[in-house]
Amino acid sequence: MEENRYLFTSESVTEGHPDKVCDQIADKILDEILAEDPLARVACECMATTGMVYITGEISTDCYVDIPHIAREVIREIGYDSSDSGFDWETCAVLTSIGEQSGDIAMGVNRAMDSQENQGLIGAGDQGMMFGYASDETPELMPMPIVLAHKLCKRLAVVRKDRILNYLRPDGKAQVSVEYLNGKVDRVATVVVSTQHDPDVPIEQLRKEIYGEVICKVIPEDLMDEETHIYINPTGRFVLGGPKADSGLTGRKIIVDTYGGLAPHGGGSFSGKDPTKVDRSATYMARYAAKNLVAAGLAKQCMIELAYAIGVAQPVSLFVDTKGTGVISDEDISKLLLESMDFTPQGIIDTLDLRRPLYYQVASYGHFGRNDLDLPWEKTDKVDLLRENAKKYPAKA
């Protein structure tokens, strides 16, 4: 058989990246509101630039939270605690402009419009399509490139916060190119790490210590070889970072948030949105369904698309693509999912218990494949049900 080799690359960013600063602020505001009012409607957006954070959106709730205080605490926890780093939690301006959810949108969310049997359920908060994916190539059931990129960025945060490398600053990013052979992970071809740092650290010292304390601690030794290319701060200097160097915006890193580009995404951001917004909740449900299918051994990889109409409870479509790896047909897998899981917005919220504060913890380092967190959409508790229900469908020849 002819060998089929190809490269695929994914990137991640640290919690100090300006876009991730905004995601974390938005999700921390959401969590604080849900802790007091689980039925709140929240669509919170954030923008950050030199010396300023601007928070806007639509929030309908009976509780009060101190939004400027929340934003400052997030910035402090990330590590922007001095003007030397280009951003300071104590001195930055925090501006807010918050309205309430549109009555036209609320009407469709409060009461589903699609059929008599769905009366009393909530409807989707908007139209759109959402994607979920799972693959058996890693223990996390995620693509290898994004798993490694996230781990590199998390390790950058650890060595900074634990003062192992005390000259690092919060902003940074990583990129990993994985070489596949006949669809299987073969090796890591390229690793790129860029990290913000104090101005007086020699670049030779930074590169040596990032290689030893970050890259070698994360990338499995058996995946690197003498031909693996390593780039650490390729331009040399990375002193100016964070919102001072580049403006940040909520929802601008959704490929980082999801599957590193290996699977599609619907375009809607997650952070700052309560679970009535299917941009967020249905994406989690699609991942939950795909992961359980792969964990059940019904496919080696699975991509699921859900689509909704505003004010309608039932999805208008459910599409499955296992790339030929399913033990039953993709059409039958679609039927299997619809009979085994509830994909209405209310069903998703109830199944995954989403009306609670759990979103800030996933606002950096990915929403999926997080074995370090107890996330409901990462559980594989539908495996036995899917296996049992799949028995009624004919196996593929």
Distances (CA, A) of 247 to 130, 194, 236, 254, 312: 27, 18, 22, 16, 37
Pick from 117-121, 147-151, 218-222, 345-349: least confident:
117-121
Q: Helix or strand or coil: residue 145?
A: helix
Mean pLDDT of 268-277: 95
pLDDT at residue 222 is higher than 80: yes
Of the candidates 364, 391, 392, the residue with the CA atom closest to the CA atom of residue 77 = 364
Question: pLDDT-derived band of residue 340, with 50, 70 and 90 as boundaries?
Answer: very high
Mean pLDDT of 270-291: 97
Of the candidates 338, 345, 373, 379, the residue with the CA atom closest to the CA atom of residue 359 = 373
User: CA-CA distance, 347 to 352, in Å (whole number)?
Assistant: 8
User: Given strand 301-308, what is the order of strands in its sheet?
Assistant: 128-135, 301-308, 317-321
Partners of 99 in beta bridges: 58
pLDDT at residue 118 is higher than 70: no
Could you please report the per-residue DSSP string of 35-84?
HH-TT-EEEEEEEEETTEEEEEEEEE-SS---HHHHHHHHHHHHT-EEGG
pLDDT at residue 360 is higher than 70: yes
SS3 content of the chain, % helix, strand, coil (to 5): 35, 25, 40
Of the candidates 169, 348, 201, the residue with the CA atom closest to the CA atom of residue 276 = 348
What digits encode the pLDDT tens for the residues 14-53? Answer: 999 999 999 999 999 999 999 999 999 999 999 999 999 9
Q: Are 365 and 12 spatial neighbours (Cβ–Cβ below 8 Å)?
A: yes
pLDDT at residue 110 is higher than 90: no
The number of beta carbons lying within 10 Å of the beta carbon of residue 15 is 24
Q: CA torsion sign, 273 to 278 to 279 to 285? A: positive
Q: Helix or strand or coil: residue 307?
A: strand
Number of helices and strands (H, E) in the chain?
12, 13
By percentage, how much of the chain surpasses pLDDT 90?
A: 87
Angle made by CA atoms 172, 177, 182, in degrees to the nearest 5: 155
Mean pLDDT of 150-179: 98
pLDDT at residue 111 is higher than 90: no
User: CA-CA distance, 42 to 253, in Å (whole number)?
Assistant: 20
Distances (CA, A) of 53 to 113, 223, 233, 297: 38, 41, 27, 46
What digits encode the pLDDT tens for the residues 5-16? Answer: 999 999 999 999
Structure tokens at 187: 């090796």
Q: Are 153 and 365 spatial neighbours (Cβ–Cβ below 8 Å)?
A: yes
Higher pLDDT, 105 or 171: 171
pLDDT value for 36: 96
User: CA-CA distance, 284 to 254, in Å (whole number)?
Assistant: 13
Of the candidates 130, 131, 141, the residue with the CA atom closest to the CA atom of residue 383 = 141
By percentage, how much of the chain surpasses pLDDT 70?
A: 94
* Mean pLDDT computed over every residue of the chain: 93
Higher pLDDT, 83 or 314: 314
User: CA-CA distance, 374 to 368, in Å (whole number)?
Assistant: 11
pLDDT at residue 237 is higher than 60: yes
What digits encode the pLDDT tens for the residues 45-87? Answer: 999 999 999 999 999 999 999 999 999 999 999 999 887 778 9
Question: pLDDT-derived band of residue 114, with 50, 70 and 90 as boundaries?
Answer: low
Main-chain dihedrals φ then ψ at residue 99, nearest 5 degrees: -115, -170
pLDDT value for 82: 84
Question: pLDDT-derived band of residue 91, with 50, 70 and 90 as boundaries?
Answer: very high
The pTM of the full predicted model, rounded to 2 decimals, is 0.94
> 52-60 and 93-99: which strand pairing?
parallel
Higher pLDDT, 121 or 8: 8
> 248-249 and 301-308: which strand pairing?
unpaired
Q: Are 363 and 273 spatial neighbours (Cβ–Cβ below 8 Å)?
A: no
pLDDT value for 397: 74
pLDDT value for 17: 97
